[in-house]
Amino acid sequence: MSLAAALFGFVLTGCSDGGREAGPIPGVETFSNLSQNHVTTPVPYGQNPPVGGDHSAMLQPCGAYRQPVPSERAVHSMEHGAVWVTYRPDLPPADVSRLDDLAKQTYVLVSPYPELPSPVVASAWGTQLRLDSARDPRLRRFLAAYRQGPQTPEPGAACPRAQGD
């Protein structure tokens, strides 16, 4: 490939930042001082859904689920760099389908979560974004910024796909 072609591709794709858009995402909350201990008991998390902290030694395989998943296992997946997208169980089927499509990416976990503060909530280790809809463009920006993002405590650690996903 010629130098001109390479530069043209670089400009078109914005490769300098790995495809991540510059600037803060409106509405993202951050949390710090999260412990990373493996535990065998339920954890009383300070956020709903949790964004990190003590968690199960077993992680939740990435993918889309139709039933709630254990928070302690999802937190372990986030420690490995996954984004956990949760939604209210009564979310319209078209929105659930849109979220399922996102779960086809690596390091994405999607599941219903009872008693959410918003219809959709995206969480990554130490970060969270509440959304009114699965169509909100900030969701894709959140995934681009935080899936295996700089906040990941164990970057590169596996989050295997769920069986049959």
Give CB contacts under 8 A, 24+ apart, made by 133-141: 133/95, 134/87, 134/91, 134/95, 134/96, 134/98, 134/99, 135/95, 135/98, 138/25, 138/26, 138/27, 139/85, 139/102, 140/102, 141/21, 141/25
φ, ψ (nearest 5 deg) of residue 78: -65, -35
Residue 2 has pLDDT above 90, yes or no: no
pLDDT reported for residue 21: 59
CA distance 43 to 34: 13
pLDDT, average across residues 61-87: 97
pLDDT 10s digits, 4-46: 333 333 333 333 344 455 689 999 999 999 999 999 999 999 9
Q: What is the pLDDT of residues 119-152, one digit of tens each?
A: 999 999 999 999 999 999 999 999 999 999 999 9
| Residue 42 φ/ψ region, left for φ over 0, alpha for ψ in the -120 to 50 degree band, beta for the rest | beta
Residue 3: pLDDT over 50? no
Parse the chain into domains and list their residue ranges: 28-146
Residues with Cβ within 8 Å of residue 84, at least 6 apart in sequence:
49, 74, 77, 78, 109, 110, 111, 122, 123, 124
Which of 107, 134, 109 has the alpha carbon at shortest distance from 120? 134
Pick the CATH number of 28-146 from 3.30.460, 1.10.8, 2.30.30, 3.40.30: 3.40.30
Please report how many Cα atoms fall inside a 13 Å half-sphere around the Cα of residue 38, on the Cβ side.
Answer: 5
Q: Which two tokens stand for residue 129?
A: 């974004």
Bigger pLDDT: 69 or 162?
69
Please state the pTM of the whole predicted model. 0.85
* Mean pLDDT, rounded, of the chain: 87
Nearest 5°: CA angle at 20, between 102 and 80? Answer: 60
What does the pLDDT average to over 108-122?
97
